[in-house]
Each structure stands twice: as structure tokens, then as C-alpha cells.
């Protein structure tokens, strides 16, 4: 990796976006990911229908949009966790449609999940070692075959321990992943994604459900990824976080990319306002539902906070 400073990388990314049109699908100077006409339908519902979109190399790009816009489904298509009905996309100029998840990961494009997928009956270190082999998809049990570890075991363990130290999980290396707090599981998932030394890291709501004490740490880790030369594409609902860390924002609604632009002004774009106003909202909660949810959230937060401060 280059010895460029973090400031240089951020400045380079911002310079790349400076004179771009703020139009959906706008070409980028040096795209690492180029997507064309990706469609995914579920019965009569078109969950994803993205005409054209590019992700600039070295950027931190946010993917936003109302609930149900198709962000997670879009991630699933690109990373081989689901099969698109049609479309093409290239990563580093290499065609990726039809490539299974573990091969996509090994090619340098990894993702994390909105609902964290740590294997709770495995230790933290074992989870990390699995990350070196493949991403955990439907066939993850195959990765448990010890033969695949032979030969590289030492190297993999070294890298796992180095990453665990960076993410301050080294003290937990022999604990079951199931014993970690929600926030620590998010950290573990991010650390595990880095086992394959990716070039593009796709994070699906990396901060969701994490207590505020850990949010700053997670944000720092996301910024670190770019400082180390990686490209980041992340889904996030919290616009303060989007403004804090992203250089560019891509907005999805009803499966399509409807707007792109810098984080400072994207929320004043008419198309974005309409998309959020027009989005379906869940039925309003009754008072007692609300009270119950609030109580549950408080209990969960307290438990997580205790876990964090115990160390």
C-alpha cells in the first residue's frame, strides 16, 4: 500500500467528485465498480432495477434510501448472495455476474450484513479464520472442513490476531461469538471481512443497533479502511453519520438509483425529498407498543453498555 496520508486520500476522493454532474448514473473518473441494468424481482415486486451506477475508487460512498428501497437486495446481487434476473457489473474491470459469494470475496469485494452473521457457537478467532476462506453464505458449513485451513493456518491466524488487536477484540479471541454484545459483533464482522484483504468493502448498516459508545469507534474504523487504501460503499440511515464520513451519496428508491450528489446537499434534492415523503411507513404504533419497545431498547442498551465497560 502507498504511503499517502489520510488527508491525501480524502482530498483525492473529493477532487474526483468536484465537477461531477449530480445525476443518477453519472460516470466517475476511476470507477472500481460499474453496474448496468441489474434487475431483481420477487414475484410481482421489482426490488432492484438499477440502470447504471459507478463507485469511485478510493471513495467512501454512502448508499441511502427509505426502508424497502432495495439497498440490501442490491448488495446481495453484487456480492453473489443472490442471483439477479438480469444485468451486468464489473469489479476492477472484471465481470462479476454469476460469480458465487466466496469467489467475489476472494476477488477483493466483500460485504457485511445488516443482520450480523457471526457464528455464535464458534469462538471469535474461529469466526475470523472462516472469514479468510469465504464469506458466510448458505454454504458456509463447507468452510468448516478443516482441510481448507491446512498449509495456511499460521499465516491466517497471524492475520486474524493482528485484526482482532486493531478492533480491540483480542481479549475476546477465545470467547464464543454469541457472548459478544451487538456492537462487538458488528466489529467482529468488519474485522472478519478484512481477512481476505479486500479492495472494496460494502457495509450494510454497520452502525445500526450499536450503542453510542461504540458508534464513534465504528465510524473511526470505516474511515481507517479508506486510509489503508480501500474503497468503501456503505448503507446508512443516519444522515449525520453519512455527512461525517462520506464523500459522495447515491440514493435509491423503489429499486432504482434516483439521485447522486455530495452529502452536504443531497437531502435538499427534490427527488430525494419526494422519495422519502412518498415512502411507505409502518402503521403508527400504539402508546403501549411504544412504551414496550422503549423498555426493550433500554434493557438492551444497558446490557450492552455494561458489557463494554466491564473490560
Ligand X SMILES: Nc1ncnc2c1ncn2[C@@H]1O[C@H](COP(=O)(O)OP(=O)(O)OP(=O)(O)O)[C@@H](O)[C@H]1O
- Per the CB < 8 A criterion, the answer to whether 208 and 71 are in contact is no
Q: For residue 83, state whether it binds ligand X (rule: CB under 6 A).
A: no
DSSP 119-142: -TTSBHHHHHHHHHH---STTGGG
Residue 137 engages ligand X in binding (rule: CB under 6 A) = no
Cα–Cα distance, 94 to 198 (Å, whole number): 15
Output the nine-digit C-alpha cell for 283: 402503521
Query: Which lies closer to ligand X via its Cβ, residue 116 or residue 133?
Result: 116
Kindly list the strands in the beta sheet with 31-42, ordered across the sheet, starting from the edge strand earlier in the chain: 45-56, 31-42, 86-91, 94-95
Residue 9 partner contact from Mg ion, ligand X, none using kind-dependent CB cut-offs of 5 to 8 Å: none
25, 51, 68, 262: which one contacts ligand X (CB under 6 A)?
68
Residue 103 C-alpha cell reads as: 469467489
Give the interface segment with ligand X, choosing from 39-47, 88-96, 173-181, 222-230 (CB under 6 A). Answer: 39-47
Shortest approach of Mg ion to residue 72 CB, angstroms? 3
- Reference 143, options 163, 123, 126, 164; nearest CA is 126
Q: Select from 13, 60, 69, 207 the one that contacts ligand X (CB under 6 A).
A: 69
Residue among 53, 49, 138 nearest 85 (CA): 49
Q: Smallest distance from the beta carbon of 55 to ligand X, in angstroms?
A: 17
Does residue 65 touch ligand X according to CB under 6 A?
Answer: yes
Task: Output the DSSP codes for 84-107.
Answer: -SEEEEEETTEE-TT--HHHHHHH
Counting contacts by CB under 6 A, is residue 71 touching ligand X?
A: yes
Instruction: Name the residue among 179, 171, 204, 173 with its Cα closest to residue 190.
Output: 204
Minimum distance of ligand X from residue 47's CB (angstroms)? 3
Span from 60-68, 123-131, 242-250, 264-272 in contact with ligand X (CB under 6 A)? 60-68
56 interface partner picked from Mg ion, ligand X, none, CB below 5 to 8 A per type: none
114 is a contact residue toward ligand X (CB under 6 A)? yes
Identity of the residue, 114 or 123, whose beta carbon is nearer to Mg ion in the bound complex: 114
What residues line the site for ligand X (CB under 6 A)? 42, 45, 47, 65, 67-73, 114
Amino acid at each position: 500500500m502507498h504511503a499517502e496520508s489520510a488527508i491525501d486520500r480524502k482530498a483525492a476522493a473529493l477532487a474526483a467528485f468536484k465537477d461531477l454532474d449530480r445525476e443518477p448514473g453519472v460516470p466517475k473518473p476511476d470507477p472500481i465498480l460499474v453496474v448496468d441494468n441489474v434487475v431483481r424481482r420477487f414475484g410481482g415486486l421489482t426490488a432492484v432495477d438499477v440502470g447504471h451506477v459507478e463507485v469511485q475508487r478510493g471513495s467512501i460512498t454512502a448508499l441511502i434510501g427509505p426502508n424497502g428501497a432495495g439497498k440490501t437486495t442490491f448488495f446481495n446481487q453484487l456480492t453473489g448472495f443472490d442471483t439477479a434476473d438480469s444485468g451486468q457489473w464489473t469489479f476492477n474491470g472484471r465481470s462479476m455476474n454469476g460469480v458465487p459469494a466466496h469467489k467475489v470475496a476472494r476477488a477483493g469485494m466483500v460485504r457485511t450484513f445488516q443482520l450480523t452473521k457471526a457464528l455464535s457457537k464458534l469462538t471469535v478467532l474461529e469466526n475470523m479464520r472462516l472469514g479468510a476462506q469465504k464469506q458466510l453464505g448458505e454454504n458456509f458449513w463447507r468452510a468448516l472442513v478443516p482441510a481448507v485451513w491446512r498449509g495456511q493456518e499460521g499465516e491466517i491466524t497471524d492475520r486474524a490476531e493482528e485484526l482482532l488487536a486493531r478492533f480491540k477484540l483480542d481479549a475476546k479471541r477465545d470467547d464464543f461469538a454469541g457472548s459478544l454484545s451487538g456492537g462487538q459483533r458488528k466489529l467482529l464482522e468488519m474485522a472478519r471481512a478484512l481477512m481476505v484483504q479486500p479492495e472494496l468493502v460494502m457495509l450494510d448498516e454497520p452502525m445500526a443497533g450499536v450503542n453510542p459508545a461504540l458508534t464513534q469507534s465504528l465510524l473511526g474504523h470505516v474511515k481507517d479502511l479508506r486510509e489503508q487504501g480501500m474503497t468503501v460503499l456503505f448503507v446508512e440511515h443516519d444522515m449525520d453519520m453519512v455527512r461525517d464520513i462520506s464523500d459522495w451519496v447515491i440514493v435509491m428508491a423503489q429499486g432504482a438509483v434516483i439521485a447522486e450528489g455530495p452529502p452536504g446537499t443531497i437531502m435538499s434534492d427534490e427527488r430525494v425529498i419526494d422519495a422519502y415523503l412518498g415512502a411507505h411507513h409502518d402503521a403508527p404504533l400504539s402508546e403501549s407498543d411504544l412504551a414496550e419497545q422503549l423498555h426493550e431498547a433500554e434493557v438492551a442498551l444497558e446490557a450492552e453498555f455494561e458489557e463494554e465497560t466491564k473490560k
